Amino acid sequence: MSGTNASTLTPEEPEAPTNRPPSMRRIKLWLQRPYARKVLILTVLIGFLLLPLCWLLLAAMNQTGAPASDIMKDIEQTIFVFTLVSIPITAFVFAVLLYSLLGWRRVTGDEPPMQDSPAIRTNTIGVILWTGVSSLLAFFLVVWGLIELAQITANSYGSISADEQPGQPKSEIINVTGQQWVWTFEYPQHDGLTSDVLYMPLDRPVYFNVTSKDVIHSFWAVELGIKIDANPGAITQTGVTANKVGTFNVRCAELCGMHHAYMQTEIRVLEQDGFDSWVRESGGKKTS
C-alpha cells in the first residue's frame, strides 16, 4: 500500500548508474580466482573420497542378513540418501579447512604475525548462497523424512480390517512381553501359544502389541528394522512384514538392569507351511 503511494508521490528515480558487475557476473569473476577454483576442485576430490568411505561404513548394516523387510530397506535407503546429501557440504567445509592450512599463507613463530589478512566482514552473495542451499537441503531432508515416516507408520500400524480384504494375506498378531531379562511372545490367534523365540510367517503382516512386566525395555527386531519401547503399564504397537526366510535377532535396546546385555533372542522367519507346522507341533491351533 505504502509502496504504491510512494511511487505515485515521487517520480521514479533513475536507475543508479554503476560499474559494479551484476551478481552472476561477480560469481563468474570470482570463479576465475585461482584459490576459488582450487577450493572447489578440492571439494570434489574430498567428496569422491568420502563417498566410498561412507559406503564401506554403511555396509556394516547388512552383516547379518538385513534388510529382511521393506521397512529396513526403506531405512537403509534413507541413510544412503542422507549420506549423499551431506557429503557435498561436509566436503566443502573440509576443503576450506585443508586449503586454509595448505593454500592460503601459513605462519608460525612466537610473535603475532604483522601481515594482516583481508578484512572480509561479510559477503552478500556467499551468505545468500549458503543460507539458501543449507535451508533447501534441510527442507528436502525434512520432507523426505516425513513421507518416509508416514509410509513406515502405515506399514506398522495398518488397520487390521483393511488388511483382510480379499486377496490380502491375513495378518498375524503377536503379544510381546518384556521382563527382566527375557522376551515372551504370545500368539492370541493360536490359543495363546507362547514362545521365547519369535516365529514369524513370511510375507504376512505381523502386528506386535508390546508391553513390559517391570521396567522399560525396548523391543528391537534388528534386521527387520523395527523398534518400540516396552513400557510397564502401557501397550505400544508396531508391525512389519518379513520378506526373507532366515534367522534374525531381537535385542533389548533400553538399559533394563543387570542382565540387559543378555536380553536377546532369535527371530525365525518361516514359510507359511513351516510356520503352520511349528504352530501345530507347539500345541497351538492351526490358522484358519
Partner 1 sequence: MSVDTATETKRVFGVEVPQPRQFGASGGIMRRLNFGTGLIGGIGLAAIAGWVTAIITPSSASNDTFAPMEPTYVYLAVLLGWAIGFMLGIGAFVGPLRWVVGRDITHDDAEYMAGKDLGRARYWKYTTDHKVVGIQYLIATMLLLGFAGLLAMLIRTELGMTWAELFSPSFYNSMIGTHGIAMIIAMIVAVTGPLGNFIVPMMIGARDMAYPRLNALSLWLLVAAIPMLISSMFMGGIQDGWSVYQPLASQAPIGMLGYQLTIITFAISTAIASVNLMTTILTMRAKGMTWSRTPIFVYGIFAASLMGLYAFPFFQYSQILGLSDRVFNTSFFNPLNGGSVWLYENLFWLLGHPEVYVIIIPSAAVALELMPVFLRKPLFSFNFAVAGIVGVVALSGLVWAHHMYMTGWAPAANYPFMLSTEMISIPVGFLVLVAIGTFWRGTAWTRLPLMAIYAVIFNKMIGGVTGIYLSDVPVDQYFHGSMFVVAHFHYMLMGAGLFGAMAGIAFFFPKMTGRILDERVGSIGLWTAFIGFQITFMSMFVAGLQGQPRRVLQFDSQFNISNWISTIGAYVIGIGMLIFLAAIITSWRSGAIAGSNPWGSKSLEWQTETPVPLENFPVLPVVTERPYDYGVPDPYEAELDARDQDLTEKAGIK
What is the smallest separation between the CB atom of 239 and partner 1, expressed in angstroms?
12
Name the residue nearer to partner 1 (CB basis): 136 or 162. Answer: 136
Size of the site for partner 1 (CB under 8 A): 98
Selected from 70, 74, 186, 276, the binder of partner 1 by CB under 8 A is 74
Q: Which residues contact 61 (CB under 8 A, 6 or more apart)?
A: 76, 79
Q: How far is the CB of 167 from partner 1 (least distance, A)?
A: 28
Of 179, 236, 265, 287, which one interacts with partner 1 (CB under 8 A)?
236
Residues 100-139 that bind partner 1 (CB under 8 A): 100-101, 104-113, 115-123, 126-127, 130-131, 134-135, 138
**Does 70 contact partner 1 by CB under 8 A?**
no
Q: What is the largest CA-CA distance in the chain?
A: 94
Interface positions, 185-214, toward partner 1 (CB under 8 A): 210, 214
The answer to the question of residue 227 lying near partner 1 (CB under 8 A) is yes
Shortest distance (Å) from residue 41 CB to partner 1: 16
Residue 228 in contact with residue 73, Cβ under 8 Å? no
Yes or no: say if 171 and 164 are a contact pair by the CB < 8 Å rule. Answer: yes
- Smallest separation, CB 52 to partner 1 (Å): 15
Which is closer to partner 1, CB of 75 or CB of 279? 75
227 to each of 46, 140, 252, how far by Cα in Å? 35, 25, 9
| CA dihedral over 230, 234, 76, 245, signed as positive or negative | positive
User: Distances in Å between the alpha carbon of 195 and those of 42, 181, 220, 275?
Assistant: 57, 15, 17, 13
Selected range binding partner 1 among 73-81, 165-173, 183-191, 192-200, rule: CB under 8 A? 73-81
Q: Which long-range contacts (CB under 8 A, 24 or more apart) does 27-32 make?
A: 27/125
Nearer to partner 1 by C-beta: 53 or 162? 53
Positions in 7-66 near partner 1 (CB under 8 A): 13-14, 16-20, 35, 57-58, 60-61, 63-64, 66
227 contacts 220 by C-beta, under 8 angstroms: yes
Per CB under 8 A, the list member of 45, 125, 157, 197 interacting with partner 1 is 157
**Per-residue string for binding with partner 1, 238-257, x by CB under 8 A?**
-----------x-xxxxxxx
With beta carbons less than 8 A apart as the criterion, state whether 195 and 185 touch.
Answer: yes
The per-residue DSSP string of 243-256 comes to: -S-EEEEEEE-S--
1 lines the binding site for partner 1 (CB under 8 A): no
27 SS3 class: helix
